[in-house]
Amino acid sequence: MVDENVLRDKAKEILSSGEVRRLIGWKRGTYGYEAAPCVITDASQADDLIFDATCVQNPASFITLEEKLPVPRGQQPDTRKIAVMVKGCDSRAVVQHLVEKAYIRDDVVILGIPCRGVIDRRKAEKIFGEAPQPVLAVAEKDGVVIRVNGEEKKVSREEILADKCLRCRYPNPVISDYPLGDEVEKWADDDFSDVSEFEKESPEEKWAFWEEEFSKCIRCYACRNVCPMCYCVECIVTKLKPQWTRRSTDLSENTVYHIQRAWHLAGRCIECMECQRVCPMDIPIMTLNRKLTKDVKELFDYEPGVDAEAQPLLASYNPQDPEEYIM
């Protein structure tokens, strides 16, 4: 794990260099089981930066969200770099951005942080109840030490870490300019057993499951807004001319929205689970995403967000492809 003093010193050095206009990372929140994402622009703010098991959010989501304001006459736009702190899953989002040319490599400075996992707010609340004060949590090899409501306890990884962390294949950043901390061992290989179990169900059982889940959707678009790979300037689901998806929250339109979004992420989802984390209705969105991730890996031997020199899956063409799926 990273020493926060080392992290802050590096952040001060980067911001003081004059080559970076802002740094995206985490700071202690005001309450609860999650830290707060933050953007700092001055070295004096670096002492607010933290990293522990409450740093759940994917800061790579913010890189593509920068508002491009008109530049006053006589002034030039600020083209300096953006620095970003990333865990393993966050770094995969940066790599996929580079693959898709959302920005170029020279635009970003990456502070890579090895991660032993982040806590799941919903799991923590079941164990400890609500937390009116900021929580401190440190993931160790054999468990998570958490200080909540004035008490310090240690719980097992399985009890409190996010599901993505229990099957994480990339706990260490896959791309980094400044690696901070010693690399950590991955917890387990991902065999997609959860997807395989779901695949065994009959079509009727699958539809009954999704009918119940999709009917809960309130179309708040939180899943889309938080996703690091949903960075289109204009999203097709809110486009009016032409209108591909109606905004009503009936089962039919909700189904179209979620399937449409899942297909849009095929070969692009980096499994950070931010969509499912922020869903106010607890819809298991990642079940859809992971099904497509599994299919893409098996059919095309492709894994997004691990090779910045790779081609996007749907931009690749092999003339020798047998296309056996075509009748």
Please tell me the predicted confidence (pLDDT) of residue 68.
67
- 21-73 pLDDT per residue, tens: 999 999 998 889 999 999 999 999 999 999 999 999 999 999 998 766 777 88
Long-range contacts of 13-20 (CB under 8 A, 24+ apart): 14/83, 14/109, 14/111, 14/178, 15/40, 15/41, 15/42, 15/43, 15/46, 15/83, 16/43, 18/80, 19/80, 19/81, 19/109, 20/80, 20/81, 20/82, 20/83, 20/109
- pLDDT attached to residue 323: 72
* pLDDT the model gives residue 327: 59
| Residues above pLDDT 70, as percent of the chain | 98
What mean pLDDT do residues 251-261 have? 92
- Over residues 177-236, the pLDDT tens digits come to 999 988 998 888 888 999 999 999 999 999 999 999 999 999 999 999 999 999 988 888
